[in-house]
Amino acid sequence: MNIFRLTGDLSHLAAIIILLLKIWKSRSCAGISGKSQVLFALVFTTRYLDLLTSFISLYNTTMKVIYIGCSYATVYLIYMKLKATYDGNHDTFRVEFLIVPVGGLAFL
């Protein structure tokens, strides 16, 4: 096990858990970009599609499943559970400026 990968994975996981705990304890998702969280969930889902085809290690599989689960839990909290506290007017991230070029590059 590479110590740098372990440190990176655990710090990333800690950041995701802190975000989920902040949302859950405050019962508010104000200040969090829902569009960015949807993009994170999409990235993790597409990046970790190899879960269905190859097994590398239990650690690798577990971390991938946790990342995907936490990403979709964040999206669920923002758009379903706490949608009254989500301020879409301030979420000005222009998703189409990212999706269109990336979608085009995916076909190269």
Residue ranges covered by each domain of the chain: 3-84
pTM (two decimals): 0.84
Q: In whole angstroms, give the CA distance from residue 41 to residue 27.
A: 21
Q: What is the pLDDT of residues 29-48, one digit of tens each?
A: 988 888 999 999 998 998 89
Instruction: Output the pLDDT for position 7.
Output: 95
Q: In whole angstroms, give the CA distance from residue 74 to residue 81.
A: 10
Q: In whole angstroms, give the CA distance from residue 108 to residue 104.
A: 7
Instruction: Output the pLDDT for position 107.
Output: 86
Q: What is the pLDDT of residues 51-91, one digit of tens each?
A: 888 888 999 999 999 999 999 999 999 999 988 898 888 88
Task: Answer positive or negative: Cα dihedral of 43, 92, 28, 25.
Answer: positive
